Amino acid sequence: MIGFGATARNLLVASTLLASGLGQTAFAADALKEQWRPFRNAFPMHIQTIAASAPDRAGARVVIIAEPPPDTLPKATYQTVLKTIFGEHLTRSALAHTEIGLHGWVDDVVLTLVGYNGAGGDAALRDDLALLATKLWGTSYKGAPLALPVNPASLTAQGPPNIAIRQSELRDWLVGGSVRFSPDGTPFGEPKALSQLIGERQDGTFLSAQQRGLAVLVVNRQFTFEHYRAEFRKFALDSDVIFGAVAFGPDHLVFVGREREVPVTIMPPLRFETARILVSAKEKELSQSYERNDLFAGPLKEGQFTGRDWAPIYLSPVLVDTEFGSELNLTDQMLKSWSMAGQVKYYNFAWPTPARLPFDGKPIFQQGRRKSLEPTKPCSIGTRPVLSRVSSIMPPQINPSRISSRSRTPVRCR
């Protein structure tokens, strides 16, 4: 459940500060704070998962449903849905509200469960949590809840390395049939090439059979995307980097990813509702930007944020109140902040500043000014003039189309 403070033109409000902190929180049930607050301290930004504690001395357990899908567990009816799943085991439920930025927020559902003690209690709890996962994502595949409390030391950032996949490699693996696949990586049945699977009208999630490496989701375009909610969840759990998609004939599309190496607590699974936005959007492009040229953008002269820089954020209409729109905003912030040596920060956003920053830890405009003042030597390759140095920020009089990269084309200066 995600929301933003909306204004005209689908603008979100953000302020630039010299310091940043964790989101403020408001919570309806004080007794549940003990488990929920450390969870959100460990995950201050977006995560969609189920987490559960061990029973206390009275046999009560806390379960956190972080940012549940808005269509499968709506805020208006979540209590009725949870009562249907857990019955008399459910003794309390509440929304936990975390503010992100200015006038933005995410909501988690936090509940207390009792009565799963004694013989068969653990099995009954597993079944009910599996039913909850199926309600949220269409499947209980790899649905074991995250254990509470969360150990922050286990959450060291470790994004996947830069990966370069050539088109010829993808064609060989997928179209040429050099890689064979099994459903969800199971050892049962004969592994088959994608062309065989599609020829047999098989769809869903498959993993490379001979060795770890690839995860694919085969989609038949004759079905609605909603038909693949469960299979998409499997694909999102089994992959951590999306390479792209390959069309097989007029009816089939194959999403291709790297088989997961990074834990879901570090790189959460791609959400079905995010993929559905991309699949169903009618626009040719989706946009996010800080509107620095907006009429009222600039330093504030009075009020709570006096002296701080303010600018509205533009989002395409389909991205408002979505995790995808928020992630685009966060990415934009990181690029701007890190390129300015961490000197620019944004109000109430809790992403960390890395220990090493680009451009030798100096603001990019300083690096660009220094390099633009360095002398260049005229060079030539055939009849096409180039420069022997390429500045991080190119002076306005230089035409980028006339600059050739030294790493790709050898240049000899006269």
- Report pLDDT for 155: 80
Average pLDDT over residues 349-366: 83
Task: Check pLDDT > 90 for residue 3.
Answer: no
Q: Does residue 207 register a pLDDT over 90?
A: yes
Residue whose C-alpha is closest to residue 181's, from 167, 192, 165, 171: 192
Taken in order of first residue, the domains within the chain and their CATH numbers are 22-154 (3.30.1360), 167-264 (no CATH), 363-402 (no CATH)
The reported pLDDT for the residue numbered 6 is: 37
Q: What pLDDT does 212 receive?
A: 82
Q: How confident is the model at residue 35 (pLDDT cuts 50, 70, 90)?
A: confident
DSSP 174: I
Across the chain, which distance is largest between two alpha carbons, in Å? Answer: 85
* pLDDT of res. 400: 29
Q: What pLDDT band is residue 412 in, cutting at 50, 70 and 90?
A: very low
The pLDDT assigned to 165 comes to: 82
Phi first, then psi, for residue 384 (nearest 5°) are -100, 115
Q: Which of 17-26, 232-241, 332-341 has the highest mean pLDDT?
A: 232-241
How large is the average pLDDT for residues 377-392? 31
Rg (CA), the chain: 25
Residue 20 pLDDT more than 60? no
Between 267-271, 336-340, 403-407, the lowest mean confidence (pLDDT) is in 403-407
Minimum mean pLDDT range among 39-48, 161-170, 240-249, 335-344:
161-170
Residue 397's pLDDT is 31
- Label residue 411 by pLDDT band (50, 70, 90): very low
Average pLDDT value for residue range 201-213: 89
Structure tokens at 363: 């603001």
Q: What is the DSSP pairing of strand 61-66 with strand 49-53?
A: antiparallel
- Helix (H), strand (E), coil (C) string for 99-156: EECCCEEEEEEEEEECCCCCCCHHHHHHHHHHHHHHHHHCCCCCCCCEEECCCHHHHC
Of 121, 152, 141, nearest to 40 by C-alpha is 152
Task: Give 92 or 5, the one with higher predicted confidence.
Answer: 92
17 alpha carbon, distance to own chain's centre: 24
Looking only at the bridges linking them, the beta strands covering 146-148 and 49-53 are: parallel
Which pLDDT tens digit goes with each residue over 282-320?
Answer: 888 999 998 888 888 899 899 888 989 988 889 999 999
Mean pLDDT of all residues in 47-72: 95
Average confidence score pLDDT of the chain:
80
Q: Specify whether the CB–CB gap between 413 and 377 falls below 8 A.
A: yes
pLDDT of residue 390 exceeding 70, the answer is no
- Residue 379 contacts residue 411 (beta carbons within 8 Å): yes
Pairwise CA distance, residues 233 & 136, whole Å: 10
pLDDT of residue 137: 97
CA angle 263–268–272, rounded 5-degree value: 135
Q: In percent, how much of the chain has pLDDT > 90?
A: 45
pLDDT in tens, 77-113: 999 999 999 999 999 999 998 888 888 899 999 999 9
pLDDT of residue 292: 87
**pLDDT band for position 132 (50/70/90)?**
very high
* DSSP state for residue 173 in the 8-state scheme: I
Looking at the predicted structure, is the pLDDT value of residue 341 above 70? yes
Residue 7 has pLDDT above 60, yes or no: no
Tokens of 112: 């207390």
Q: Tell me, what's the pLDDT at 10?
A: 39
